Structure formats: structure tokens, C-alpha cells
Amino acid sequence: MSEHSVDNTISYTQKPGWKMLAFLCVFLIAGAVSIIKFDSYFTDFWKIRKCNPEGYARGDFMTSCAGIKVDRYAFGSIYLGSQKNAVKNAKTADVIVFGNSRTMRSFSTDAIDNYFKSKGLTYVIFAVEGASYASAQHTVEKLGLKPKIVMTNTEILYSNVVGAAFGDLVYFPDKYKTRFDFFHAAQSLQKWICGGNIKFMKNYYCSGRTGAGWRSAVTGRFKWELVAEPEKNVLFAPRIEQNPPDLRMGRVLPNGREFLGNSNFKNSCHILYIVNSPSSEPILQNSIANELGALPVYTPFDDLRTYDKSHLDRPTSERWAKAFVKDLDPALDKCLQGEGRYKPEVIEKFDITTADVNGTTDFESWNPRKGITVADAATEALDKTKSADIIIVEKAGARLQKIYRDTPIKAGMTVTFSGWFWADEDVPMRAQIVRSCSAATPVESVNKIFNLSSNAKRYEVSHTFEQDHACVLVQITANRAESRFNGWRYRTEFTYPSSQETLQPELQQVPTEE
């Protein structure tokens, strides 16, 4: 037998390129299979091939498509900066439009787009379902928006609550940012391929037939094609408003001051507008605009139809928008001429020598309903004496009342209640004048909401009665539980229209069940 030597060593250096390529191929194939089989952010790059890419040519970005559903992407991708082009356009836009779902639908129209183009103005729509001014405030500060003109749907001033949809973006941005970035990257890939010359890639990625949701990265306009079925295309009637809307003004005006007074808007012109609906309040809008120095725009329209008792459908939105821009035009021209600037509230420094401090401070003589008490002469007043009362609130909605029986109310008589109020922290307080003593006469009343602060102010509520009544009730209602505020030097005046004589009757406590 011949002897042989055997080499038992193994070399890993032979043909390293081929082995490494084979390894990478296996790795990539395995990765691709796992991505497709097990849904993840990476599947966006695979699924997007089925989506019709028609919106990219318009400068739009995809908000959703088929199996790709990215929660809150339509507005959140701009707010969190994933859609960088949209953010850039918003920062340089001449006009920013803030609004709710009605703005989303009725501003996403050809009439609106053509109008701004004819004026040579760039614009971006920031509208969110159920928006409040607080969500718009976050957007302004997050993106650093400083537009020449701010158009605000007055309805978003009704609430300062950041809704759940937007609140999650504000308070938990990390939950969404990575997801948004992946979807944006998938769109960027598809857009690049569809605009390129790699034929087999275009055939694969640019032939999808599934319709997608789109939003313009240039104007924020939504692609929206809803046309209501005939039986749902309902004619609506405008709301009948209280005039003047004192109660609503008290609730909405502070929100308007906070939003329009944003430091980013110090050089901006403000336009308040309404998209017509069954709940429109043009009288309230005019009152708020007058107080804030803004320009109100409202378009009366007799033939508007809603498919859900709230929103206009697509054809109606176009008709409305054509009429709306005609009313918008003079307001916009005033903006370009330097009008429509926010008018901050003037707070005068208290001077005891010139202040109107007539009246009494005996809130302890009033009739407290359950949940409210008065500490008599318990804190320092504006004249540096310890004479102001502290009104202590345990239960929200608790009332402090005083009824005046000595002076019967005659038709045409004006009753005015006023007094000095302040609080250590912001506290809402409602003051009311209402007919009393008899259920036989029609109800007449007036309300005002005051947001008390540490700055003491004299607040006033007044009502001219249309009917005769036996007596009148003045009532203060506390709108926040576990709070307190200070009261000082109130008076209730009765003015007779014939002589303009003003009487201030002796203040007395008379219990009432109203």
C-alpha cells in the first residue's frame, strides 16, 4: 500500500467574492421574505407598488392606500416634519388657513385655489377633524409659522381642548415619527422610480391601480370627491342666533385673544371666516372680530346642501367657494393695505383716586346655594383695606343669588350689575340678570362669562327688559369646583328710560327658589 498525505486544513480565502455574494443574496432573500410575510414598516416599500402614483405629478403626497394605513398621517406627517416639502411650503406661505373638517372639505376646491393664484398669494390649509384653536396653536409653534395673513375658522375658537387625534402627536411624537418616516421614504422611492427611466422598475412600481388618498404638499388641499346620494342631499336652514351673543362671547373671546395674540402673529393680518353649516354663528363672529381687530367674512347663501347635516358635499362646496371668495376679496385687500391687526386687550393700571369703586362689599348678605360660601372681609381690597370678600366654591355650577323686590321692573327699564373681581389663579365666573318672582311673565335674562385673573377688574352685565316683572334676580355662578375668587364693591342699578334716572336701592337678602 502506498502512503498518501492528507491535507485536513480548510481555506476560507478561496473565491471569497462569490461566497460573499452568495451569502448576501441569501440574506437579502430571507429578509425580503420575512418582510413580506411578517408585516412591518418595511412592507410599505413592497405594498406601495399597487398604488396609483397619479398624485405625485400634482405635488401631492399619499395619505393612505390599500393595505397601507398610517394613522394620523394626513396632518401628522406635516406636524412632525416627515413631509419636509410641505413644511417648507408652510413656512414660506403668504396665507395660512386654520380650520376643522368643514374647512378640509370646502376649502379643497378649485374656486379657492384659483382665487389665491389670481391674487398672486401662496397659501396652505391646516385643517383637522374636530380642531380647536389649541391644536392650531401647537402647529404654529412647532413649525414656526409667521404668515402675512392668518385665516381662522371661527368655530375652532369655541374650544381649547386638544382632541385625542392631535393630542397624541403633541404628547407622544415618538410613537408616530418613525412610522411616518418609513411611509414617506416608500413614497419617495416610488416617486423617484416613476420619474426615472428604469423600465422594468417603472413597470413594477408605477402601474398600480389602487386609488390612494392624497394631500397637496404645496397648498394642503385634500383630494375629496364625495357627492351625496340624492336622498342625503338635504337643504339646511341657518341657525337663529341670540343677539347680542353675550354668553357665547364670554366663552369664545378669551380663546380668540390667546390664539390671535400669539407672538408669531405680531405682524400678521387676521381674517375670521365661517364655512356655512346649520350651526353657523355670523353674529357671534362679527362681535369677536370687532373685539379683536380682525376682519370677519361670512357668505349668506340660500341653496346650500349637506349630506350629513353638517358638511357640504363636493358640488355644493364649489358653488359656496365661488361666492365666498367674492366676500373674501375686500377683506384680503384690507390685509394687504395694513388692516386687520390684532387688537390686544387694554388693561388699565388700577388707581384708587380715579377708579369707580362706589357700591358695597357685603356678598355675605347674598343667598348661597349648595356648594358655595362667602368669607366676609377676609382679604385685602384694592384700597389696601381688608374689606374684600372671598367667594369659596366647592361644587362647579354653585350659585350666589340676590333678588331685588323693592323696584318692580317696567318694560324698557335697564338693570346693570357691576363689581370688582379677581382671583389668585384663572377662574371662570358667570354673571346673570334674570326676571324673577313670577312664572307668569316671559323669561328674560342675560349672561356673561368672565375669566377672572390676578389682575383686579370691574366687570359689568346689563339687560334692558321688554316686559314688566315683579322683581329681578342677580346671580353669580362659579364654573370650576374647588376654586375661589374675590369680590368687592358691587352695585345694582335700575335706569328708567324716560328720565334716565338711576336708582340704587338698598341691598337686601331675600331668599328665592329660582
Q: Where are the domains of the chain?
A: 39-346, 363-503
Cα dihedral 117/119/125/131 (nearest 10): -150
DSSP state for residue 350 in the 8-state scheme: P
Per DSSP, the chain holds a count of helices (H) and strands (E) of 13, 20
Distance from C-alpha of 383 to C-alpha of 360, rounded to nearest angstrom: 13
pLDDT at 286: 95
Q: Do domains 39-346 and 363-503 have the same CATH topology?
A: no
Residue with the three cell numbers 471569497: 16
Task: Supply 67's cell numbers.
Answer: 393595505
* Residues facing residue 65 across a β-bridge: 68, 212
500 CB contacts (<8 Å, ≥6 apart)?
Answer: none
Distance from C-alpha of 50 to C-alpha of 140, rounded to nearest angstrom: 36
Three-class DSSP category at 436: strand
Range list of β-strands (E), 203-320: 212-216, 234-235, 269-273, 295-297, 305-306
* Cβ 58 vs Cβ 68: under 8 Å: no
Residue with the three cell numbers 398669494: 121
What are the C-alpha distances in Å from 353 to residues 357, 358, 382, 402, 488? 9, 12, 11, 29, 16
Task: Supply 234's cell numbers.
Answer: 338635504
What are the C-alpha distances in Å from 120 to residues 117, 125, 415? 5, 16, 52
C-alpha torsion sign, points 249, 251, 252, 256: positive
Closest alpha carbon to 78 in 91, 69, 95, 68: 91
pLDDT at 35: 47
Identify the helix (H) or strand (E) that includes residue 290. Answer: helix 282-292
Q: What is the CATH number of domain 39-346?
A: 3.40.50
168 φ, ψ to 5°? -60, -35
Q: What is the pLDDT along the chain (514 residues), one digit of tens a residue?
A: 444 444 444 343 444 555 455 544 544 554 454 444 445 568 888 899 999 999 999 999 999 887 788 889 999 999 999 999 999 999 999 999 999 999 999 999 999 999 999 999 999 999 988 889 999 999 999 999 999 999 999 999 998 888 777 888 988 899 999 999 999 999 999 999 999 888 889 998 999 888 888 999 999 999 877 555 665 677 777 777 876 666 678 789 989 999 999 999 999 999 999 999 988 999 999 999 999 999 999 999 888 888 888 888 888 899 999 999 999 999 999 999 999 999 988 777 788 888 889 999 999 999 998 899 999 999 999 999 999 999 999 998 899 999 999 888 999 999 999 999 999 988 889 899 999 888 888 889 887 888 898 989 999 999 999 999 999 999 999 888 899 999 999 999 999 765 555 555 544 333 343 3
pLDDT at 25: 54
Judge: domain 363-503, CATH 3.40.50.10880: no
DSSP state for residue 467 in the 8-state scheme: S
101 φ, ψ to 5°? -65, -30
Task: Supply 94's cell numbers.
Answer: 403668504
Closest alpha carbon to 445 in 474, 404, 403: 474
Task: Supply 150's cell numbers.
Answer: 392668518
Identify the helix (H) or strand (E) that includes residue 372. Answer: strand 372-379
